[in-house]
Amino acid sequence: MPDTITDAKDLLSDLIERYSPRVDYLAIRLEASEGTDILLRKDKIDTLSEGISIGGQVRACYKGGWGLSSFNRLEGLADRIQEAIAAARLVGDGETLLAPVDPVRDTVTLPLTGTDPRDIPIPEKKQLCDRYAEILRSTDPRIASISVRYGDCKQRIVLATSEGTLLEQSWTDMEMRFAATARSGATVQTGRETTGSRSAYEDLTGLDAQVRTAAQRALDALNLPSVKGNSYTVVIDPILSGLFVHEAFGHLSEADMVYENPDLLEVMTLGRRFGPTDLQIFDGAIPTGHRGSYLYDDEGTPATTTQLIKDGVLVGRLHSRETAGKLGENPTGNARCLNYHYPPIVRMTNTWIARGNTPVADLFRDIKEGVYARNWLGGMTNGEMFTFSAGEAWMIRNGQIAEPVRDVTLSGNVFSTLADIEAIGDDFYWDESGGCGKGGQGGLPVGCGGPSLRIRNVVVGGEASDQ
């Protein structure tokens, strides 16, 4: 491999010219990445590593069939190209449908606003983790276990295609995760916090209060009553709104989910109403400074902002060039891959619900008995069904926030839940803690955002109701 992957551009162009006549589409991606991974668990270091990865992939398409070959050395790249071409020709038996895009010749770097984490020595990063671990441990003797995870990664890629694209782009991403588990007798509760950045190492160095909050949340929950399971009107904070729009709705907006599932395609018909007239949902990599932001996706398609729901009506979905071609729609720049071991697939970038007009205090008005949920512990989706666990919650009584409760899970059908949105708050928050998984490609950085929401008829799980 050359000293820099930039030096390989001429080689890639020559190989593309030589082999592209044998297929409908040919792309070569080179990637160089370096990163740090630190994991402290209880009183021990589980992981303390720095690594460098250099490699690439070849993607070929022939009559709608794809071939993929990855490699770690430029020597023998011609053989990898022929492998990908052979695989594509073996499985291709239809028509290659790739929505057209203009070829790109560009070199771009997503700029940092502060210190590059790659300029920070690993002992200093470990000291940061040690400091946060001590905050978690020292909060209270009832803290039974803790974990602190730090990660950063700098990636640079070169993409060359048979259509004339020759693109170089690079970015740096970083993330920290904290968890504290408190125990009192048989009762165990966990508090979590996660944060990420593509801006500056300094974004990770002043989190003492946030870390302490994770431990305190676990401690506070030890003595709280469990919520009584029932169907409630709920108010959720912007962090939960961001999680909801990403997990419950965003994945259903990824066009590969749609064209591979005729039943879902029928449900996700453009022009269908899903929510109130003031509901606006977007996804896009154009907003700067977020973990899902970039200028070009991993097929070289320029980033866009796609409105998914306008005035409560489904008006768009997220595409790679192939899904756009198959559905006769425009590409949106949402083809992304975790690294060179995986092909680009349709992925969200930054997904958000637009700010509404209802003052947050008014969201609670006239709720005789409901639940106010903030932050998140975890969650899962299965098609159009979702279940999320709130990080903290309170009962709402007669329009006022009342006693705190624990073990709050929110469940429902995403389409019914969108229709049951009663009011959209005038606040807004970007959550940079997201790491999205799909198709075996876990931990892809994304951004989520939204306002507080008031939603009726949400199934809230906890202790069985006496009713």
pLDDT, tens only, 170-197: 999 999 999 999 999 999 999 999 999 9
The DSSP-derived string for 400-436 is: EEEEEEB--EEEEEHHHHHHTEEEEBS--EEEEEEEE
The pLDDT tens digits for 337-357 are 999 999 999 999 999 999 999
Q: How far apart are CA 159 and CA 165, in angstroms?
A: 7
- Are the beta carbons of 279 and 308 closer than 8 angstroms? no
Average pLDDT over residues 383-408: 95
pLDDT band at 260; cut points 50, 70, 90: confident
Average pLDDT over residues 258-287: 94
Where are the chain's structural domains?
A: 5-221, 230-461
Looking at the DSSP assignment, which residues form a beta bridge with residue 54?
A: 32
Looking at the DSSP assignment, which residues form a beta bridge with residue 434?
A: 446
pLDDT band at 466; cut points 50, 70, 90: very low
Q: What is the pLDDT of residue 442?
A: 87
**Per-residue three-class SS string for 42-76:** CCEEEEEEEEEEEEEEEEEEECCEEEEEEECCCCC
Give the C-alpha distances (Å, rounded to integers) separating 382 from 185, 247, 249, 251, 411.
34, 10, 11, 10, 11
Read off φ and ψ for residue 343, nearest 5 degrees. -75, 155
Q: What is the pLDDT of residue 1?
A: 38
- Which uninterrupted H or E stretch holds 177? strand 166-184
Tokens 């019914």 correspond to: 416
Q: What is the pLDDT of residue 378?
A: 81
CATH code of the domain occupying 5-221: 3.30.2290.10
Q: What is the pLDDT of residue 431?
A: 94
> Which residue type sits at 222?
L
Angle between helices 9-19 and 77-91 (to 10 degrees): 40
Give the C-alpha distances (Å, rounded to integers) separating 168 from 23, 81, 109, 437.
24, 20, 8, 25
Say if residue 465's pLDDT is above 50: no
- Are the beta carbons of 113 and 199 closer than 8 angstroms? yes
Q: How far apart are CA 79 and CA 19, in angstroms?
A: 11
- Which uninterrupted H or E stretch holds 256? helix 255-259
Q: What percent of the chain has pLDDT over 90?
A: 91
Q: What is the pLDDT of residue 99?
A: 98
Q: What is the pLDDT of residue 2?
A: 41
Length of the chain: 467
Q: Can you say how many angstroms the Cα of residue 72 is from the centroid of all Cα atoms in its chain?
A: 27
Angle between helices 122-138 and 208-221 (to 10 degrees): 30
Mean of the per-residue pLDDT values of the chain:
95
Q: Which two tokens stand for residue 105?
A: 């010749």
The pLDDT tens digits for 213-249 are 999 999 999 999 999 999 999 999 999 999 999 999 9
- Are the beta carbons of 52 and 33 closer than 8 angstroms? yes
Q: Quick check: pTM over 0.85?
A: yes
404-424 CB burial, b ≥16 within 10 A, e <16: bbbbbbbbbebbebbbbbebb
Looking at the DSSP assignment, which residues form a beta bridge with residue 232?
A: 458
pLDDT band at 7; cut points 50, 70, 90: confident
Stretch among 96-110, 155-169, 426-440 having the lowest mean pLDDT: 426-440
Q: What is the pLDDT of residue 42?
A: 87
Give the C-alpha distances (Å, rounded to integers) separating 212 from 146, 207, 354.
12, 9, 31
Q: What is the pLDDT of residue 5?
A: 72
Stretch among 266-280, 287-301, 319-333, 378-392 having the lowest mean pLDDT: 378-392
Say if residue 45's pLDDT is above 50: yes
Q: How far apart are CA 88 and CA 343, in angstroms?
A: 14
pLDDT band at 66; cut points 50, 70, 90: very high
